[in-house]
Amino acid sequence: MSRVGKSPIAIPEGVTVDIQPNVITVKGKLGELSQEYSDVSFDLQDNVLTVSRPSEAKDHKAKHGLYRALVNNMVEGVSQGFTKELELVGVGYRASNQGQKLDLALGFSHNILFDIAPEVKVETISEKGKNPIVKLSSHDKQLLGWVAAKIRSFRKPEPYKGKGVRFVGEQIRRKAGKSA
């Protein structure tokens, strides 16, 4: 039995769930998300959403946990939202934004201009003596993770000095340099 799939999803106040054949839509104060589904069924009673599967087949077991997790992230996203913070570690690394356009100086001969999706809010924090931080927030966890991974891919942290774009709190596996 799927441990993730069988746990119920509590629907907070202000969040509405619309279950149609093959599409589930969640609306809240931060936005609206929809997800296609197959091979599972949803049951909403007393602000508690449960997911059930038709059989014990391997494919049905996998989708049971998958769709429960996706819908739970949708409910959490439209009610509270998600945030990710990226830290720019390196001499001369800077970040600034004008609206939804992120301008990154990451040690290349040119600055990187990155257009961010309108669903993701971007904020840059630059304090003297500290590494610049790019703060991303959205109601869509999947899109937020993709945008953060794309920004990180411009200059991944390297193992010798630890320079690059990393998530706040991320541990980088360090290597020893040359030994004379």
Q: Each residue of 23-68: pLDDT tens digit?
A: 999 999 999 999 999 999 999 999 999 999 999 899 999 999 999 9
Q: What is the CATH number of domain 82-167?
A: 3.90.930.12
Q: How confident is the model at residue 8 (pLDDT cuts 50, 70, 90)?
A: very high
Domains 3-79 and 82-167 share a fold: yes
Widest distance between CA atoms in the chain? 69
Report pLDDT for 178: 86
3-state SS assignment for residue 24: strand
Asked if residue 1 has pLDDT above 80, the reply is no
For the chain, domain boundaries: 3-79, 82-167
**Whole-prediction pTM value?**
0.89
106: confidence class by pLDDT, cuts 50, 70, 90: very high
SS3 per residue for 83-111: EEEEEEECCCCEEEEECCEEEEECCCCCC
CB 93 within 8 A of CB 134: no
CATH superfamily, domain at 3-79: Ribosomal protein L6 (3.90.930.12)
Return d(Cα 94, Cα 87) in angstroms, integer: 10
Residue 175 contacts by C-beta under 8 Å, 6 or more apart in sequence? 159, 160
Distance CA 55, CA 127 (A): 56
